Structure 1
């Protein structure tokens, strides 16, 4: 039996032998969307083992089911990037819900996450694809401080003139925090070449999960990019948690005056196009995020 460079036996490494499922979320094409790992039975894994599995997979997030009651359709879930645990991940939630619906049948699911209880409705569309809609924890949004903004713009290599003055910088939350910055043009959004270590330091200082960069094509259609250096990933191709937080941002700014469905196109500039649908109601603190997911390989 072989050993790794450290002299340890591979089967003795945390998470060795766990074979996760691999799904891509917010797409109908495995070559698009955001890949997520899924471990349907992680009851025997501790945090170190789950982190090791997530690092081995290398996707931005892996969802681990650490407890389950199939009859009640209730599941305890934790999420890990290759570098750390996160309280909530939207695309891995959509991927997990689709995988569960394919095995248990469509219907309502409840996920107990470190961020709180997440209800997910699953169903089948006319083409036979499974769709999942998660309902976020209460979302909120506050203006970003000058210090937060200045440090982030420096790391991005952007200036204040690159921002859309009609969509002010905010820190938005729907399970974890995301800095929302609106680009003044599609070209500015497309030209993303940032200081990885510099942005990592800023994000760790403020405990942000991603920086949610958006461009408004119309009131109902946005484009987005999400640097995720704190997770060891240059960019996330589809970020359901940021989309949920963005719903709270739109509500906080009064940009949604009646129940509305907003389309977010993400991942296009990195060759993994993704489509996220968010439902925002000015009378509700929660955002609903809808997408499908497909197995990879």
Structure 2
């Protein structure tokens, strides 16, 4: 939550430059408050696990959030019960006349496919375009982020010769960013992907800014102000055991897989893994929710209009 201090207090400019949530006195006096509407477009096969992971992070702030679950209209999941989908999810075509303060688009286990060969690609592109008129801020995660940055900027995904798998050290490249309030200078993030985005190609796309990156696994978090979007290619939302479950599954199936790096103590899969990213996961998603709260219009009919900062 923001701190309200006098506009002319010396700390005001210092804290603003550091990315601390500072609210002007006149801004606080005229502030209206309502619940935030945030939706999850869940493309993962394990719907229940994924919705729980994101709900845990979104629900950790003191703000009241209405959390909606959205699915692709025609694509039917084979790994989650029809009863669960019918009870809790709405197809996109049913919600596309509505407006949301925030939208999270998850990853999907279809990295090997070219984007245009994904069975629901046309509807997903429709959703990307819909965010520009009906969503205040969008957060694309892993494949979802790669697909969105490709749609809007033409940035390509590239296949890796081996899976990036484990917990990798990342650098805070923009400590003053409001999305990185409280972040350490470096930290670990779970990574599980066969593809990558190249930093040089992101740099060549006008308006994009990389906020988090790794010397080993490349860019991680990219801000796209023009499209009111963030793209993250790695998995802060993962539970303690998610990488273990992926590793155990591949071992059981006889699939060639490396032990996830820097995940198990001493890289020994017989030992219980330690969660070393939980605090930064809550920071990132809490900061995003806070920015949505500070910048979204009180009148939801105004979402998608030209201004992207309603604090001014």
Larger Rg: 2
Shorter-chain-normalised TM-score: which range? under 0.3
More helix by share: 2
TM-score by length of 2: 0.23
TM-score by length of 1: 0.24
